[in-house]
Amino acid sequence: MSKSPQDWPEPIVRVQSLSQSCTDSIPDRYIKPPTDRPSSITTTSSEDDANIPIIDLGLGAPYGGDPEPEAQPQASILRQISEACNEWGFFQIVNHGVSPDLMDKARETWREFFHLPMEVKQQYANSPKTYEGYGSRLGVEKGAILDWSDYYYLHYLPLCLKDPNKWPAMPPSCREVFDEYGRELVKLCGRLMKVLSINLGLGENFLQNAFGGEDIGACLRVNFYPKCPRPELTLGLSSHSDPGGMTLLLPDDQVPGLQVRKCDNWITVKPARHAFIVNIGDQIQVMSNAIYKSVEHRVIVNSDKERVSLAFFYNPKSDIPIEPAKELVTLDRPALYPAMTFDEYRRFIRMRGPRGKSQVESLKSRT
């Protein structure tokens, strides 16, 4: 695939501005084909009650110090996470050790950013070269149907990509809050990586080492979904699986919107208070040789409330080959994917935007 282009194929329109000017219709560019619209699959009432598993990690909140950082999680927690990874590819964690206060502060600081005057936000307008900054589309195909959302994308790790000049200077606490939030989430992701490794029957440091040890990548995408006058015709974020390793999502505390695919249904996630939503990304699907699968998800919008979410992506070092763990490749189950660096892998979503699971599936034919 060719190099990322330097600029967008068309002028960028902020969805937040559209939301203010469109009161009873939306531009054609945001209207999805009928099969992709929110109601394309009807859910039965029993599925309305369904939710992704909620798992208590028993770590409390670190009010002054770490709760036994190196302690092995209990067998029952390992088992619950294992079942959730097998059945859903998605779960919520509570008592995960990150302070609820910090979680609220992070989300509300970013909400404030999106409510700053447009001229201020425009100073951070992004380009498809790195995607860092304030953006309103994913993918660079001219004439593509777009999603009903704006976002802010930032690198946290590796340190050489962390560029405070690309972080908003407003609100004033933004940089400091993101720094602390990133530190806490990297720690939590490290713990979860151990759990996944153990559950896959690998040494507890296997996945972390295969990700590049200390040199992993981490980035944040803050999603802003403005109110939409015709929510039944569009999506806030089209169906996709996350290309990276693992994602920790901090959802809006008031407004649901995330839907996870379960067989042929879309299940709307009901977030538990101060929970993170964890999901497996494509790189862990590859490393686990598809024992764990990255699961498709999407976001619906609504007509009376905006929604803010923070997606923290924990990724392999970008230039090392990622391939199925040798321990998980057998005669009966040969390697399903060829080795590929994450740099190479993520070019696809950066060019074409969210497209279900088409990318990871397409790798299979290349072994």
Instruction: Find the shortest distance in angstroms from Cβ 249 to ligand OGA.
Output: 6
Strands (E), the chain: 54-56, 90-94, 133-135, 150-157, 217-225, 237-240, 246-250, 258-262, 265-268, 276-280, 297-299, 307-315, 321-322, 340-341
Instruction: Find the shortest distance in angstroms from Cβ 297 to Ni ion.
Output: 6
Identify which of residues 90 and 167 has a Cβ nearer to ligand OGA in the complex: 90
Identify which of residues 206 and 266 has a Cβ nearer to ligand OGA in the complex: 266
Q: How far apart are CA 175 and CA 109, in angstroms?
A: 10
- Choose the contact partner of 257 out of ligand OGA, Ni ion, none; CB within 5 to 8 A by kind: ligand OGA
Instruction: Find the shortest distance in angstroms from Cβ 72 to ligand OGA.
Output: 30
Ramachandran category for residue 263: left, alpha or beta (phi over 0 → left; psi -120 to 50 → alpha): left
- Choose the contact partner of 84 out of ligand OGA, Ni ion, none; CB within 5 to 8 A by kind: none
Identify which of residues 124 and 148 has a Cβ nearer to ligand OGA in the complex: 148
Identify which of residues 150 and 242 has a Cβ nearer to Ni ion in the complex: 242
Within 13 Å, how many C-alpha atoms sit on residue 275's CB side?
A: 20
- Choose the contact partner of 223 out of Ni ion, ligand OGA, none; CB within 5 to 8 A by kind: ligand OGA
Identify which of residues 55 and 258 has a Cβ nearer to ligand OGA in the complex: 258
Q: Using CB under 5 A as the criterion, which residues of the chain lie in contact with Ni ion when the complex forms?
A: 242
Work out the widest C-alpha separation in the chain, in whole angstroms: 60
Within 13 Å, how many C-alpha atoms sit on residue 102's CB side?
A: 18
- Choose the contact partner of 121 out of Ni ion, ligand OGA, none; CB within 5 to 8 A by kind: none
- Choose the contact partner of 346 out of ligand OGA, Ni ion, none; CB within 5 to 8 A by kind: none
Residue nearest to Ni ion (CB): 242
- Choose the contact partner of 251 out of Ni ion, ligand OGA, none; CB within 5 to 8 A by kind: ligand OGA
Identify which of residues 155 and 198 has a Cβ nearer to Ni ion in the complex: 155
Instruction: Find the shortest distance in angstroms from Cβ 298 to ligand OGA.
Output: 8
Instruction: Find the shortest distance in angstroms from Cβ 243 to ligand OGA.
Output: 9
Residue with the two structure tokens 């699986």: 241
- Choose the contact partner of 322 out of ligand OGA, Ni ion, none; CB within 5 to 8 A by kind: none
Contact criterion met (CB below 8 Å) for 286 and 247 = no
Instruction: Find the shortest distance in angstroms from Cβ 210 to Ni ion.
Output: 22
Q: How far apart are CA 23 and CA 230, in angstroms?
A: 9
Q: Using CB under 6 A as the criterion, which residues of the chain lie in contact with ligand OGA when the complex forms?
A: 221, 223, 237, 242, 249, 251, 257-258, 297, 299, 309, 311
Instruction: Find the shortest distance in angstroms from Cβ 251 to ligand OGA.
Output: 6
- Choose the contact partner of 231 out of ligand OGA, Ni ion, none; CB within 5 to 8 A by kind: none
In three-state secondary structure terms, 363 is: helix
Identify which of residues 197 and 239 has a Cβ nearer to Ni ion in the complex: 239
Q: In 3D, which of 337, 298, 301 has the Cα closest to residue 321?
A: 337
Identify which of residues 245 and 251 has a Cβ nearer to ligand OGA in the complex: 251
Instruction: Find the shortest distance in angstroms from Cβ 156 to Ni ion.
Output: 17
- Beta bridge partner(s), residue 54: 92
Angle at 246 between CA 245 and CA 248, to 5 degrees: 150
Q: In 3D, which of 216, 219, 227, 248 has the Cα closest to residue 349?
A: 219
Within 13 Å, how many C-alpha atoms sit on residue 107's CB side?
A: 20
